[in-house]
Structure 1
Amino acid sequence: MQQDGLLHNNLWIKALPSLYDKTQAAHWLSRIKFPGSWSADNVASFEPTLDNLCLLQRLHLVAFAFENTAMHYTSHHSMDISLPALYQRLVVEGKGSYCFGMNTLFLQMIRALGYRAYSGSGRINTASADSPPNFLAFVHEVLFVQPIQNSNITYVVDASGGGSCVTRPILLKNAARVMGATPSEWHTLVKTGRTESSLETSPNSTEPAGVEWRLIVSHVSEGSLSSSRILYSFIEDEFFPMDYECSNIGIYTGAWAAKEPFFTENVVCARCFWLSDEEMEAELAMNNVPENVSQSDVDSAGGIPQWDYTLNSRHLGRLGLHKNELKRHIGTRTETVKVFHTEPERIAILREFFGIDISSGELEHIRGRRPALDLP
């Protein structure tokens, strides 16, 4: 039986060199606003701890948008997830990507900071909340990290953003639970298997073979569960760049459109933001969180971080652009910020709220595509 917090067979993750250099890692730390002044000379002094991993993940989610604008506003209509292209797009230009790009960059950057980590893959669930799952193929990327020195205790990290994204590392343990963006949102890991699986724990067993993990998001409203949904399933096998490249091509070329047209039919953009002190106080009061709540074990046992004005305890909100609306989400509250009907209006919003600059020349590339709005 698999031990709590460990990979199967109690495997260890190697300390591998990053494919980004120290200067690039320092520029990334500066771009995501990690505290301190960073250069190639002092990156080696970074402390690869669990607390710092949590902060890196949250800063990354705030710094970069989960977005697919390159799919629609470029002449090549593709999503380049090569390491040079990701560094240029995110770190240099301050734009974003989707899961393959966001997690690929994050993996190589934390390796440069001394973390032992590797990437795996998952199947997105397209079914609605409280419905039986409908899993796609392996079109999602997740990370496995062992952030404790001389230990093979393993955490799952997803730094891709978008939707009800997980916002901090979660221990690789059945029923491990962490708070999401606010105390109204929770993420839980469950080890299970599919009912249609060919595997069983023993002859004629009725128990599901626990060969996959599922990340479940739950939302709480007025103290009671309001919805629960499987975000995706994943396995512990290591996946490599060619695996993601093949899946990536299927997404941006539209080969997956018959099964899942979300990215080909929409301009998608989402980003986390820090709540202000006033918004923090209101959210804590709304969720009846006591001031002296314990900080302990927040990455495995479902604790709520004590609000001490640090970024690891500050809650997050989310901005989401979809169809012709920009919405702002804080906890269970959602407000429409902007409604737009033309492409010039949309690219003005992308620039103002997400830092994504699309020129008038690039605007022409969306003409005739499914998600295109009115063009002059």
Structure 2
Amino acid sequence: MQDGLLRNSAWIKEISSLYDRNQVAHWLSRIKYPGNWSADNVGHFEPTLDNLCLLQRLQIVAFAFENTAMHYTSHHSMDISLPALYQRLVVEGKGSYCFGMSTLFLQMIRALGYRVYSGSGRINTASANSPPKFLSFVHEILFVQPIQGSNITYVVDAGGGGSCMTRPILLKNGAKVMGATPSEWHTLVRTGRVESSLATSSYYTEPAEVEWHLVVSHASESGPPSTRILYSFIEDEFFTVDYECSNIGIYTGAWAAKEPLFMENIVCARCFWLSDEEMELELAKNNPYETTECDIYSAGGIPQWDRSLMSRYLGRLGLYTNELRRHIGTRSETLKVFHTELERIAILREFFGIDITPAELENIRGRRPALELP
């Protein structure tokens, strides 16, 4: 199989978006894509690979990966319908988790002329440097063919959160891209499971390589780097009903026995751009990671720092139980510690743009993540 191709060398069709041009223009403005966008000029957008990368990076900075609606709304659900996502993210500036973030991104880039479909992955819940423990299909990813007249395919994860990808990666065994900074890398591995019923031949010697692993590695301030499989995925196309079923399982707690993260916690994470001063510190610190001229979408190239958003490194903010932490490269610091709901919602408002009203605050009372309430 040629590198970068889907199985059977499949092509992705160009499909109309379910969002209109006015909504797309508002999304471009919300994520701060350069230029002045309106319904009249959205049709002039150039659907290139570099522009896809910039869109992905802008989205994970603009919107938080979060589940606050599960606990602070009266319905205690995560609405991933297209009207609800547009209202929550584009109009209100709040966030969602992978189903919401990637569904919004899918429809928006379709409107910009990209050929794209959505797939699904199995999250690995095991810790770093440990054998994987996969959930069912509870993650959404995208397959994009951004080159005109070509079926070369890239994987895009626009969900944000955790050790999220920050740029597209070529669908190729061994493809490697930089993460938030040069201390973080994502690698694609084509593989098969030992327990799989599929084999490479009638002799049953090796499992058939019918799935992919996205592997993340992190450098450490001291000691060896850590490596972890973030998730596995297959190339099949998944549809709205698939995500709706998985989504219900998450926000109702049906999956909690296997993965209690969302039921037991207020999850909130967001990427941010490093300042020029922070960039200089990271560049000096990461002197071993010299800028290379190789492909940044498959061969581990590091963009030359030119003060553009394509070359600027990212940091991450995240809520962890009762503290807000800030991560840049291998460094991590606690910004705030909180013990009450009033303290938490103040942090959600200040750092993540999520406003929880006093009336909504009552909805978390009695739920597992609830802190001290007035």
Decide: shared fold, TM above 0.5. Answer: yes
Partner in structure 1 of residue 250 of structure 2: 251
Superposition pairs for residues 231-310 of structure 1, below 5 Å? 231-289=230-288, 293-310=291-308
Deviations 1:99-145 (A, max 9, x none): 00000000000000000000000000000000000000000000000
Q: What secondary structure is seen at the aligned counterpart in 2 of 1:221?
A: coil
Partner in structure 2 of residue 324 of structure 1: 322
Deviations 1:296-355 (A, max 9, x none): 410011111111111010000000012100000000000000000000000000000000
For structure 1, the residue ranges without an aligned partner over 5 or more in a row are none
Partner in structure 1 of residue 347 of structure 2: 349
Q: What secondary structure is seen at the aligned counterpart in 1 of 2:75?
A: coil
Deviations 1:20-65 (A, max 9, x none): 0000000000000000000000000000000000000000000000
Deviations 1:143-196 (A, max 9, x none): 000000000000000000110001100000000000000000000000001110
Partner in structure 1 of residue 19 of structure 2: 20
Q: Distance in 1 between matches of 2:223 and 2:208?
A: 31
Give the alignment's TM-score, normalised by structure 2. 0.98
For residue 360 of structure 1, report the CA deviation from its aligned partner. 0.6
The residue identity in structure 2 corresponding to 1:135 is F
Q: 1:366 aligns with which of 361, 364, 367?
A: 364
Q: What secondary structure is seen at the aligned counterpart in 1 of 2:236?
A: coil
Q: What secondary structure is seen at the aligned counterpart in 1 of 2:225?
A: strand
The residue identity in structure 2 corresponding to 1:117 is V
8 Å CA contact 2:67, 2:262 repeated in 1: yes
Work out the number of aligned pairs and report it.
Answer: 374
The residue identity in structure 2 corresponding to 1:38 is W
Give the alignment's TM-score, normalised by structure 1. 0.98
Q: What secondary structure is seen at the aligned counterpart in 2 of 1:350?
A: helix
Q: Distance in 2 between matches of 1:290 and 1:258?
A: 42
Q: What secondary structure is seen at the aligned counterpart in 1 of 2:217?
A: strand
The residue identity in structure 1 corresponding to 2:144 is V
8 Å CA contact 2:122, 2:231 repeated in 1: yes
Deviations 1:219-263 (A, max 9, x none): 123697410000000000000000000000000000001111110
8 Å CA contact 1:223, 1:287 repeated in 2: no
Q: Distance in 1 between matches of 2:202 and 2:221?
A: 45
Superposition pairs for residues 117-196 of structure 1, below 5 Å? 117-196=116-195
Partner in structure 2 of residue 206 of structure 1: 205
Partner in structure 2 of residue 66 of structure 1: 65
Deviations 1:260-295 (A, max 9, x none): 11100000000000000111111111111577x235
For structure 2, the residue ranges without an aligned partner over 5 or more in a row are none
After the TM superposition, list the runs of 4 or more consecutive aligned residues in structure 1 that deviate by more than 4 angstroms: 222-225
Distance 1:176 1:223, change over 3 A: farther
The residue identity in structure 2 corresponding to 1:125 is N
Partner in structure 2 of residue 49 of structure 1: 48
The residue identity in structure 1 corresponding to 2:262 is F
Q: What secondary structure is seen at the aligned counterpart in 2 of 1:281?
A: helix
Aligned Cα root-mean-square deviation (Å): 1.1
8 Å CA contact 1:324, 1:341 repeated in 2: yes
